[in-house]
Structure 1
Amino acid sequence: MLVYQDLLSGDELLSDSFPYKEIENGMLWEVEGKWVVQGAVEVNIGANPSAEGGEEDEGVDDQAVKVVDIVDTFRLQEQPPFDKKQFVAYIKKYIKNLSPKLEPEKLDAFKKNIEGATKYLLSKLSDLQFFVGESMRDEGSIVFAYYKEGATDPTFLYLAPGLKEVKC
């Protein structure tokens, strides 16, 4: 299994069990998330509640909750939304912090293509949700989520140059 860690914070943000599609010259990875129900366990003990005078919904409240698989799996923490000024400031700081950690050939591609990826994200800014890794470190990568037209499940966007592949 491959896990993708944030180069800046070390947080695990994604794995190969969630296929991604490269967009914006490979600068962004697009990953489809899914809403899933967690904790709902139905146990059939063979009793017939109506024959025993019980109600159909009698039993234990199993605290079933709906979660987004990627958010839950990687313990992503939602952050308040950014306005345009805050977002641009974040990207500038991100570029400054990430650049020294990239290999020369990756750095060239990063510098060449980050502007296009930034414009793409800015065009969706009002629709984006912002997530950080479990450690909640300010200087780490942000994972972006939004809902495509008519979609009921979120789509996640990752800044690919900030991810490091780790074999587990």
Structure 2
Amino acid sequence: MLVYQDIFTGDELLSDSFTYNELYNGVLWEVEGKWVVQGALDVDIGANPSAEGGEDDEGVDEQAVKVVDIVDTFRLQEQPPFDKKQFLAYIKRYIKNLTPKLPEERQEVFKKNVEAAAKWLISKLSDLQFFVGESMQDDSSMVFAYYKDGAADPTFLYFPDGLKEIKC
């Protein structure tokens, strides 16, 4: 199994158990998340509790909650939304910090495509949710989430150049 960690903080942000699509020549990864139920589930085993003297909800734990698999698995922390000025400040700082860490041959591809990817993100700014890893550091990689038209589950966006691959 491969885990993808933020190169700035070491926070785990993704694993290879989630498939991705590349956007903008691999500058962005698009990953489908899913809402899942976590906690107690009401399982029908065919017994009739009233015939056996039990009450309908006897022994059932009501702690079931719905969570998004990626957010829960990697303990992502939601951040307040950015306005355009805040987002531009973040993305410029992130690109400036990330570019020197890339292999030289990747730097050119990244520089050539990151502007178009950033413009696309800005066009979706009002629809985005913002997440960071559990260390919640300011200059870390950010994970973006949005709901595609009519989708019930969120789609997550990553800058893969800001991730390092770790074998587990």
Mean Cα displacement is larger for which, 25-34 or 95-104? 95-104
What code does the residue aligned with 2:14 have?
Answer: L
Kindly report which structure 2 residues correspond to 1:12-161, keeping only aligned pairs within 5 A, or say none. 12-42=12-42, 48-161=48-161
Answer whether contact 2:2 2:165 (CA < 8 A) is retained. yes
Residues 61-112 of structure 1: per-residue CA shift (max 9 Å, x gap): 2410100000000000000000000000000110121122111111121111
RMSD: 1.7
Deviation (angstroms), 1:47:
5.9
Measured in 1, the distance between the counterparts of 2:112 and 2:144 equals: 21
Mean Cα displacement is larger for which, 34-43 or 148-157? 34-43
Partner SS state of residue 22, structure 1: strand
TM-score by length of 1: 0.93
Answer whether contact 2:40 2:61 (CA < 8 A) is retained. no
Mean Cα displacement is larger for which, 117-126 or 44-53? 44-53
Partner SS state of residue 156, structure 1: strand
Aligned residue pairs total: 168
What code does the residue aligned with 2:143 have?
Answer: V
Structure 2 gap segments, 5+ residues each: none
Measured in 2, the distance between the counterparts of 1:153 and 1:47 equals: 34
Identical aligned residues as a percent: 78
Structure 1 gap segments, 5+ residues each: none
